[in-house]
Amino acid sequence: MTIHDTHPFAAGQPRRPLRRFRGRLPAPVTVWTTHGDAGPSGLTVSSIVVADGEPGEVIGLIDPASELFEDLLRTRRWAVSLLSYGDRLLADAMAGLAPAPGGPFRMGSWRDTAWGPVLIESPGWLGARLIDEPVEAGWSMLVRGVVESVEIDDAMAPVAYLRGNYRQL
């Protein structure tokens, strides 16, 4: 894991026009997790689309250098937890932007599922199975999976990310 010395989406820094455009799109804040050989692995993912249908699908852009990507290719299953406003530090730790002494899975309470660990206090989560081999998309890998399980907690609101800041919904 790399801790960056600057925030990659901070306002006021010169950025490429496409990155600036992307930064103006409200983005969901999720953590993707799976079972790794050395324990759970996870990554904050905001480039995500959920397609309803029979079956439903989840599509996301994942860093190909991440531990999660390697473990996901091996297990072919993963969990997606929605984060709430109170999970901002967890989101930064899972993204490699903030320190997490002992690892980010020591932050928050988790329960294990067949797809990977899920955050117990979450607005919702889903479990997915890889259906296609990932393909390159920009500097990321596009991962596509069929949704096999969904749980929602209507009492909790998810958080969004816009122009370098978390926004409570």
Instruction: State how far the Cα of 122 lies from the Cα of 66, in Å rounded to an integer.
Output: 23
Q: What is the pLDDT of residue 151?
A: 98
pLDDT digits (tens, 9 = 90+) for 153-162: 999 999 999 9
Return phi, psi of residue 32, to 5°: -95, 135
The number of CA neighbours under 13 Å toward the Cβ of 7 is: 14
Q: What is the pLDDT of residue 8?
A: 54
Query: 67 by DSSP, 3-state: which?
Result: helix
Residues 6+ apart with CB under 8 A from 23: 9, 11, 15, 162, 163, 164
Q: What is the pLDDT of residue 14?
A: 74
For 24-169, where are the alpha helices, taking DSSP H only? 67-75, 88-94
Fill in the amino acid letter for 154. D
Domains parsed from the chain with CATH numbers: 17-48+70-125+150-168 (2.30.110.10)
Q: What is the pLDDT of residue 169?
A: 86
The DSSP H or E segment spanning 23 is helix 17-23
Walk along the chain (169 residues) and give the pLDDT tens digit of each residue: 445 555 555 555 677 899 889 899 999 999 999 999 999 999 999 999 999 999 999 999 999 999 999 999 999 999 999 999 999 999 999 999 999 999 999 999 999 999 999 999 999 999 999 999 999 999 999 999 999 999 999 999 999 999 999 999 8
Return phi, psi of residue 75, to 5°: -80, -30
Q: What is the pLDDT of residue 11?
A: 58
Could you report how far apart the first and last alpha carbons of the chain are, in Å?
29
